[in-house]
Structure 1
Amino acid sequence: MKWSAKNKLSLITASCLVVGTFGLVASTTDVFKDSTSSITSVASEKKQAGVSQTITPKTLSIAKLMKQGLVQTYPGDPNLAKSAFRVDRLLSAPPKSLNLVAKDGHRFITVPFIMEDTSHHDGGYSVYKPNRFTLKDETGKEYESVDYVNRNEKAWKNTHQYFAPYRSQVDVVYQVPINKKTFVLFASSDAFAKTHTVKIEVD
């Protein structure tokens, strides 16, 4: 069969249209792929950056905090009545001589620390800082003392010296939020051998 110039031109035009259409489809597909990849990449980056993640505050249980002490106790614990170091029952209010005023939404906790080491009579002293003992709540937030009263100047001197065999009582005051009910007190010192954790509950 002989092809006229007109037929040849039509065939070439059709071929160009097919090739052009294929190229357009391929190009569109690549653009769609690139767009999808970009969206996925952005979403991945946001997720890695924590934009779409909900972060839950870390919470520590009172039981886990208590386990950090070799001696686990509470104020007025009769099992430690004869121990060199112990914590007496909480006082109902801070000593009046301190003239403390609680901030809004807060209250005071007053803890009497007793140190009485009758096994030594050499006149030396041990490093003892009850005013530096701290409280923690169930979130791990720490509360330092705001003030204290030394009940025996012979037993505890210069805010860090305990002299045996005298009986030392230091009433230490903490300020805590009203909505917090349970705390763990950490007591550690050269004056006694083992770290104490003291569970403190308030109404």
Structure 2
Amino acid sequence: MREGDAGLTKGEATRLFILEQAAPIFNRRGYTACSIQELMDATGLEKGGIYRHFLNKEELAVEAFRYALSKSVKTRTERLEGIPNAVDKLKRAVSVFVETPSVIDGGCVLMNTAIDSDDGNPRLRELALEALNGWQNRLAKIVIAGMRAGEIRSGVKPRQLANTIIATLEGALMMSRLQRTQSALRDAQTTLNGVLEGVRCPKSR
């Protein structure tokens, strides 16, 4: 049993190990293109050893996405709690997205899964949609809390602002990946910082 797996049974530790190895492969290759042989090579397990813990490839892909998403969300939210002002919290969320590499090899888990599953795997598409909704809700809650605290101007539409942040970041990420430069992400950060300063309540400056 590996360090950090204390408290897990041998079966639980093996299952976690499979997810750790499978998540970046699915994230890079997609559900359809990923072969069981690649998973066997990555884990050192035979097909039966993998499917002892997962019913089939689809279940493994679903659980690998959940594992990858939880790691990504934790990375992008753990630095926000200590920031008191809602606008500054949103700016930090933007900064973390732009400046912190994906914790799962292959890039943004949500973007990759949304594209890969759009016409291929209904369950993964459903989970990607849930993840998007969760992201929207987390940002919208920060906006609502900021409005109640007098930190964000009244009249701001929480979901609209959340959608603007997400769409700008994900679009810039796609451009940055194609161009292999951070320029689009940096431009998006500058633009979003301006938008967020624009919704800041003057008395909270």
Structure (1/2) with the larger helix percentage:
2
Band the TM-score falls in, shorter-chain normalisation: under 0.3
Structure (1/2) with the larger strand percentage:
1
TM value normalised by structure 2: 0.19
